[in-house]
Structure 1
Amino acid sequence: MRKGSIAENLNAVSERIVTACRSCDRADDSVTLLAVSKTRPAADLRAAYDAGQRHFGENYLQEALEKQSALTDCDITWHFIGPLQSNKSRDVAEHFHWMHSVDRLKIARRLSEQRAAGMPPLNICLQVNIDDEDSKSGVAPEKLPALAEAVVALPNLRLRGLMAIPARRIGDEDQRTPFRQLAALLDQLREQLPDAELDTLSMGMSGDMEAAIFSGATIVRIGTDIFGART
């Protein structure tokens, strides 16, 4: 169970972000808090919205669409952060602002083709399997340059950066290692694609947020410390 109200928890997480930023000489506003709201009812999202939260991340498509219908009066930036089957890509293309978990060209092409005319480009992060874990999605680091080159050429997408969910490690310094590796991969992509707007590292969750921020995260994905344990 969460320790306080959603508003109190949001404030506590925001204070952690500011403290982490200042500890490594980063601007207080250089990290965006993405509230991971999977399995949470629309009422919880509204409570977070009323407390000032604007970015929400969802893993389950049908659940997310239902929440979007219930929260049409809220000016929310919607992020899809879970694995996506190609036959469900149209709903993400039509209803989300960000897609964090693109790891193959087939999905990227479908998202670009299905993005509705008149909508701004869909912001894309490529998911990298930074630890080569069989249980996790993501493109292998050695295949990232070719995928990025292809995605940046698609007309209705805007490649913004990289996302990863590294394995948990013991010790803050060890936890920084995969985050630094992801940051280095983004630096390499910037050299490869100098005209792309590569400004995003989506990494870090409730248990390793500080390590991620120290390593350059620009979006941290926080669920439990805002909403409590999933039901």
Structure 2
Amino acid sequence: MTTIEGNLQAQRQRLAQACQQFGRDVTAVTLLAVSKTFGAQAVVEAMAAGQQAFGENYIQEGVDKIVALRASHPEATVQWHCIGPIQSNKTRLVAEHFDWVQSLDRIKIAQRLSEQRPGHLAPLQVCLQVNVDGGANKSGVTPEALPALAAAVAQLPGLRLRGLMCIPEPAPDFDSQRALFLRCTALFDALRQQQGAQVDTLSMGMSDDLEAAVAAGATMVRVGRGVFGARPAKA
């Protein structure tokens, strides 16, 4: 068993325990393995252990990985999620290579992604990133501006609105973490009422606060360090 395989087993068990503890169906919560800064071989090891959904924060690094792995493993059924900020000059790369975008927070970027999504591909699945706690250093649309952005994104032909993503500031304990996530859950519930059943994805929680996110209703948790280990130091 590789280290990554063992880590994945441990994180799946952790997720299953959290679901049991908080009355959730474990099949309703997806584990997204965040592979940023790790090479293609690490992803191959995770794929061999049954992992099919991967998140990338850095667009060019992610695209290089996607292209290499689609060439070396054309039979693999892998989903690639862009979970980092998107600048205007990177939208074409995202539209042409990723399956999901979880970090959408501006209509300009949404319009470019829709226009640049190749016609032979399915619509880009998108979550709107919402800044639930007003953190000054966090990306995300404000809760007040969310309904208008969601309504506009839902009309774009190259995109399919699937839900919300949030990255609140770190909180010191479980109750504080859960309280922050519940803000996003309330916005998610309101969005479902606005847009209907196609809104089915609430992406929140990472290695340090997975349990609180599950307790608050997350349908996807994003785990990097817990799967791949400590990230390599930057040169």
Q: Please confirm whether the aligned pair reaches a TM-score higher than 0.5, indicating the same fold.
A: yes
Q: Deviations over 1:2-31 (max 9, x none)?
A: xx7000000000001111111111112111
Equivalent residue, structure 1, for 2:115: 113
Deviating 4+ runs (over 4 angstroms): none
For the residues of structure 1 that align with 2:61 and 2:171, how far apart are their CA atoms?
Answer: 31
For the residues of structure 2 that align with 1:70 and 1:187, how far apart are their CA atoms?
Answer: 38
C-alpha RMSD over aligned residues:
1.0
- Which of residues 40, 43, 62 is equivalent to 2:41? 43
Residues 1:214 and 2:212 aligned together? no
Equivalent residue, structure 2, for 1:5: 3
Compute the displacement of 1:213 (Å): 0.5
Equivalent residue, structure 2, for 1:168: 170
One-letter amino acid of the structure 1 residue matched with residue 214 of structure 2: I
Compute the displacement of 1:69 (Å): 2.1
- Which of residues 61, 64, 73 is equivalent to 2:62? 64
Helix, strand or coil: the match of 2:171? Answer: coil
For the residues of structure 2 that align with 1:169 and 1:62, how far apart are their CA atoms?
Answer: 31
Equivalent residue, structure 1, for 2:146: 144
TM-score under structure 1 normalisation?
Answer: 0.96
One-letter amino acid of the structure 2 residue matched with residue 151 of structure 1: V
For the residues of structure 1 that align with 2:215 and 2:153, how far apart are their CA atoms?
Answer: 28
For the residues of structure 2 that align with 1:44 and 1:226, how far apart are their CA atoms?
Answer: 10
Q: How many residues align?
A: 227
For the residues of structure 2 that align with 1:204 and 1:32, how far apart are their CA atoms?
Answer: 11
Equivalent residue, structure 2, for 1:31: 29
For the residues of structure 2 that align with 1:9 and 1:59, how far apart are their CA atoms?
Answer: 21
Unmatched tracts of structure 2, length 5 or more: none
Equivalent residue, structure 1, for 2:156: 154
